[in-house]
Amino acid sequence: MDFLRPASWEEALAAKAEHPTAVPIAGGTDVMVEINFDHRRPEYLLDLNRIGDLSEWEVGEDSVRLGASVPYTKIMENLRGELPGLALASHTVASPQIRNRGGVGGNLGTASPAGDAHPALLAAGAEVEVESVRGSRRIPIDAFYTGVKRNALAADELIRAVHVKKADGPQQFSKVGTRNAMVIAVCAFGLALHPETRTVRTGIGSAAPTPVRAKAAEEFLNAALEEGGFWDNGQIITPSVAKQFADLCSAACNPIDDVRGTASYRRHAVGVMARRTLTWTWESYRGTRRLTEGAA
């Protein structure tokens, strides 16, 4: 095994081009487990810790450019306002020790369907900035996950940052597990209201071969909210609409039975989380509407 220690992003790209099998390691919270258990013996480890700007973020006009190695702890502490869904999801990652090391770049690189960041990224809307010596490109999050632990990266590419849209409305994240800490999601659900475009976006984790959006559920809800004038009148969502939304979210799942839960449980739980996160976010939206009206 060789340990490659690029001091700059350009050096890292050159190293990855020269050794496409090199395994990037940043927080190490996935890679080191595999090495410790002898599940993996990469020919090259490509350490990204010395590249400082991977751990930085910039808050722009419409989106946040989040460096691939920004640890979850920093997201929780600094980006709760801009990226509430991702901050909530970050808080459910493992333990403080793991959150101090792991970041969204690793979640995306591993591309496990159980990665906690994925539902939040899908719901908020995001693009993954990847680069190789051949050039840079941005992959829409919907096109990023290609299979179980597979993503759209080419062999010579590295993840540099994620561009996540700043919240224009309430966002929620919900996760099912046996305790609050150190839990791999049995299943998870992210939901974001986008009042500016009058749309709702979702993200489902651990209930299909890849993280997915419940697109049919989103379309149904967008139409129902528009039709009922909900965005303007701020009324509570009709229980039958919430139920139909939840059922469609369950239907978007394609889960398996495994040690953490059965497929039917996952389908059921995703429906429950869909209904709850919709209620929470909608109540929050109604609250801010009332405040704005009161002030006017």
Q: Whole-angstrom Cα distance, residue 140 to residue 50?
A: 27
Among 95, 136, 178, 262, binds other proteins (CB under 8 A): 95
Which of these, 188, 238, 197, 248, lies nearest to 218 by C-alpha position? 248
**Nearest distance, CB of residue 25 and other proteins, angstroms:** 6
Residue 42: phi and psi, rounded to 5, are -65, 150
**Nearest distance, CB of residue 46 and other proteins, angstroms:** 11
Q: Whole-angstrom Cα distance, residue 207 to residue 54?
A: 30
Hey, CA dihedral for 192, 197, 198, 200, is it positive or negative?
Answer: negative
Q: Whole-angstrom Cα distance, residue 285 to residue 167?
A: 12
Structure-block tokens of residue 274: 């869909």
Verify binding: residue 11, other proteins, rule CB under 8 A: no
**Nearest distance, CB of residue 69 and other proteins, angstroms:** 11
Q: Whole-angstrom Cα distance, residue 98 to residue 75?
A: 13
Q: Whole-angstrom Cα distance, residue 59 to residue 215?
A: 28
Tell me which residue has tokens 């591309």. Answer: 111
In the bound state with other proteins, the residue whose beta carbon lies nearer, of 39 and 294, is 39
Among 22, 25, 64, 249, binds other proteins (CB under 8 A): 25
Residues 137-176 interacting with other proteins (rule: CB under 8 A): none
**Nearest distance, CB of residue 57 and other proteins, angstroms:** 17
Q: Whole-angstrom Cα distance, residue 234 to residue 225?
A: 10
Q: Whole-angstrom Cα distance, residue 138 to residue 13?
A: 16
Among 143, 182, 216, 236, binds other proteins (CB under 8 A): 182
Among 10, 60, 81, 100, binds other proteins (CB under 8 A): 100
In the bound state with other proteins, the residue whose beta carbon lies nearer, of 29 and 172, is 29
**Nearest distance, CB of residue 183 and other proteins, angstroms:** 10
In the bound state with other proteins, the residue whose beta carbon lies nearer, of 101 and 260, is 101
Stretch that binds other proteins, among 52-60, 109-117, 128-136, 177-185 (CB under 8 A): 177-185
Stretch that binds other proteins, among 180-188, 223-231, 232-240, 265-273 (CB under 8 A): 180-188
Among 8, 97, 262, 288, binds other proteins (CB under 8 A): 97
Residues 28-57 interacting with other proteins (rule: CB under 8 A): 28-29, 31-33, 35-37, 41-42, 45, 47, 49
In the bound state with other proteins, the residue whose beta carbon lies nearer, of 94 and 272, is 94
Among 27, 84, 103, 115, binds other proteins (CB under 8 A): 27
Q: Do 202 and 217 meet the contact criterion of CB atoms below 8 Å apart?
A: yes
The pairs formed by 132-137 with CB atoms below 8 angstroms and a separation of 24 or more are 132/13, 132/16, 132/17, 132/156, 132/157, 132/158, 133/13, 133/14, 133/16, 133/17, 136/160
How many amino acids of this chain bind other proteins (CB under 8 A)? 29
Q: Do 127 and 138 meet the contact criterion of CB atoms below 8 Å apart?
A: yes
**Nearest distance, CB of residue 81 and other proteins, angstroms:** 21
Q: Which residues bind other proteins (CB under 8 A)?
A: 1-3, 5, 25, 27-29, 31-33, 35-37, 41-42, 45, 47, 49, 94-98, 100-101, 180-182
